[in-house]
Chain A
Amino acid sequence: MNVTLKNVTKKFPSRTKNTPDVYAVNDFTLEFPDGKLIALLGPSGCGKSTTLNLISGLLKVTDGKVLFGDEDVTDLAAEKRGVGLVFQNYALYPHLTVRQNILFPLQNLKGKEKMSKSQMNEKAENIARLVQVDNLMDRKPSELSGGQQQRVAIARALVKMPKVLLLDEPLSNLDARLRLQTREEIRRIQKETGITTLFVTHDQDEAMSISDMIVVMKDGVLQQTGLPQEVYDNPENLFVAQFLGTPPISTFDGEVRNGTLYIGDDVVFEGLSCQEKKVTVGIRPEGYVLKENGAFRCSLKRVEVMGRDITVISENENCNSGEIRSIIGSDNKVDVTKEWVCFDLKPEKVYVFDRESGKRLREAEVRSNG
């Protein structure tokens, strides 16, 4: 089922007279497509969890509409919306066994949906098999590892076949290795059930690696949505460019004069339609090409050889994001005794933003495809 948010705003009134009201989510409009795995991505405090809770119904919207399919659920209480929610701390009932935890939502069903005991047990068994906890059914949550608790929580949320599955920071309580494993697991479970799934994360790797669509938020405002690669390749603004990618994008104070983009005195690109502007230039780490007499000069600091590729760490006085990390193929040779290193830049990896607003300035960029 697709979920639509229409101009959704959530305001938390301020506690004291002197502070303004907090807009956790501000005028958020978006349709989450049916059957996809969607990541809500943003730094902490950006309103992504609030958005999730507005969809679950645990929070009421201040303004706007929430639709499941064509049905307006804005005024429907959480218990009537039929969503599955996995909490950050899992919230498994500690006094119930895994089986009882999974059965719990089924036992709530009333009227036509009511099931017989054997039906419920069968459903619970099936879902437990899907998330691979079927051999742990008679344990208490305290006897499970973090990863197992996570699976049980997902099973509990899935067992009544919700219209939407919501996961709040599903991987944040797991260690690094388990996180990799579990995110694949979430992807697999989502594919097998085909339930529209939204998950909240602040980890861009997590979002990029498994989701069909990412939604980047900042300060309660929707920044950009799209396929992960699309958003990475084509950021709408400086924030999105900086937020996605490891190592992060390097940014420089630049200037456009007479259709030429300068960083300091180095000419980066010529023949732009833009005339005069102060800009911020972002260059992805993979956007550098090592070249003896390249246009872009940086002072060489050190080189990290990673086997597959080489990371050149350098500095530039116009850079405002610390050291510049550029990743080049390991077939390049870098003379570490030299003081300077020169690069050519790949035009598609260079983004130009308005220095004031942070908005992307496409007219100040060179694009091969137009």
Chain B
Amino acid sequence: MDKKSPKALLYLLPSLLFLGAFLVYPLVDVFVYSFEEGFNFASGTSFGTGLYNYSYVLHDPYFLQALKNTFILVIITVPLSTILALVIAVGLSSIKTLKNLFQTVYFLPYVTNTLAVGLVFMILFKPTAYSDGLVNLLINLFGGQSVDFISGPYWAKMFVLCFYTIWVVMPFKVLILTSALASVNKDYYNAARVDGTGKARTFFRITLPMISPMIFYLVITGFIGAFKAYSDAVALFGTDLNAAGMNTIVGYVYDMLYGNSGGYPSYASAAAIILFAIVLTVTCINLAVSKKNVHY
């Protein structure tokens, strides 16, 4: 068939229209906003063009705090959740009794409503009039001092946020890795056994390379997901994240648009573009690393 046939274009038209209207146009628009100083939605006017928005955002202490929070969250939760998921998946694949029960238990957070999860974390960490939360009860039991995890020191809040994030993203990873492990041909393990391969060596030299494509898929999507974190922080610390010092980049973008101090689409756009650049860079690095280490 002729590649330049108008028919082909006609068939593509519906999806092109939708993609253009809802994906390409907004993207370009955000890019344009980010260079227009003081853009106003209502009047549709701006003072001029330039890099001022970027300069403002990069000097805004709230943004820098959000950037720091996001990076800490990413660096802690992505490797930790992946490794934990791998450990759990390997454990699940090697047991026989109660396998289904444990699989269900580990998958539960994935199907649980976010609000219900939030409630559970409240019980665990939030101080009430009667107690300081379940975790603090435990700390007290071992003779420690109560820690205010919700409005206390920064490390405590960050701990809760990371804990929550890992807990929420892990079920999906466990699921993917369990099926990846199950799809490795048993003959490889038998061959390794006959050759006298130890358990650890079998895992690192055979199992891990065999499931490496899935691990890297999880790492890449994990990075992207963690960079876009927002709702988790809101669920734990409420909507005024700047006051709590627990804002994330996406949270900052939202606040700039609709928050109490909002109404600055230009700043929001600039922050969004910065986030985009960061995610793009990290993903490219990931892909480059995976090309070297992922087999097939």
Q: B206: which A residues are within 8 A, CB to CB?
A: 93
Contact with B along A142-174 (1 / 0, CB 8 A): 100000000000001100100000000000000
Is A56 close to B, CB under 8 A?
Answer: yes
A83 vs B192: C-alpha distance when bound (angstroms): 12
Cross-interface CB contact of B194 among A56, A109, A142, cutoff 8 Å: A56
Given contacts A91-B185, A93-B206, contact A108 B201 (CB under 8 A): yes
Is A94 close to B, CB under 8 A?
Answer: yes
CB atoms of A78 and B194 under 8 A apart: yes
Given contacts A87-B187, A94-B296, contact A79 B194 (CB under 8 A): yes
CB atoms of A87 and B196 under 8 A apart: no
Is B209 close to A, CB under 8 A?
Answer: yes
Main secondary structure of the interface of B (DSSP, over half): helix
Is B198 close to A, CB under 8 A?
Answer: yes
Q: A156: which B residues are within 8 A, CB to CB?
A: 191, 195
Cross-interface CB contact of A108 among B188, B190, B196, B296, cutoff 8 Å: B196
CB atoms of B190 and A58 under 8 A apart: yes
Is B210 close to A, CB under 8 A?
Answer: yes
Q: A157: which B residues are within 8 A, CB to CB?
A: 194
Contact with B along A75-104 (1 / 0, CB 8 A): 001111111110101010111000000001
Given contacts A91-B185, A95-B296, contact A85 B191 (CB under 8 A): yes
Cross-interface CB contact of A91 among B191, B196, B198, B209, cutoff 8 Å: B191
Is B295 close to A, CB under 8 A?
Answer: yes
Is B197 close to A, CB under 8 A?
Answer: yes
Is A105 close to B, CB under 8 A?
Answer: yes
Q: A56: which B residues are within 8 A, CB to CB?
A: 194
Question: Nearest chain B CB to A80's CB is how many angstroms away?
Answer: 7
Question: Nearest chain A CB to B211's CB is how many angstroms away?
Answer: 11
- Report the nearest A residue to B185, measured CB to CB: A91
CB atoms of B210 and A91 under 8 A apart: no
CB atoms of B195 and A104 under 8 A apart: yes
CB atoms of B295 and A95 under 8 A apart: yes
- Report the nearest B residue to A83, measured CB to CB: B194
CB atoms of A108 and B187 under 8 A apart: no
CB atoms of A79 and B295 under 8 A apart: no
CB atoms of B198 and A87 under 8 A apart: no
Q: B296: which A residues are within 8 A, CB to CB?
A: 94-95, 142
- Report the nearest A residue to B212, measured CB to CB: A95
CB atoms of B193 and A58 under 8 A apart: yes
A81 vs B195: C-alpha distance when bound (angstroms): 9
Interface set, chain B 153-194, CB cutoff 8 A to A? 185, 187-188, 190-194
CB atoms of A89 and B193 under 8 A apart: no
Given contacts A85-B191, A87-B190, contact A80 B196 (CB under 8 A): yes
Q: B190: which A residues are within 8 A, CB to CB?
A: 58, 78, 85, 87, 91
A274 vs B217: C-alpha distance when bound (angstroms): 77
A78 vs B189: C-alpha distance when bound (angstroms): 11
Query: Which residues of chain A have a CB within 8 Å of any CB of chain B?
Result: 56-58, 77-85, 87, 89, 91, 93-95, 104-105, 107-109, 142, 156-157, 160
Query: Which residues of chain B have a CB within 8 Å of any CB of chain A?
Result: 185, 187-188, 190-198, 201, 205-206, 209-210, 295-296
Q: Which 10 A-B pairs have the closest CB atoms?
A: A95-B295, A105-B195, A91-B187, A95-B209, A91-B191, A79-B196, A85-B194, A108-B196, A78-B193, A108-B197
Extra pairs beyond A80-B196, A95-B296 (8, CB < 8 Å): A58-B190, A58-B193, A58-B194, A77-B193, A79-B196, A82-B196, A93-B205, A108-B195
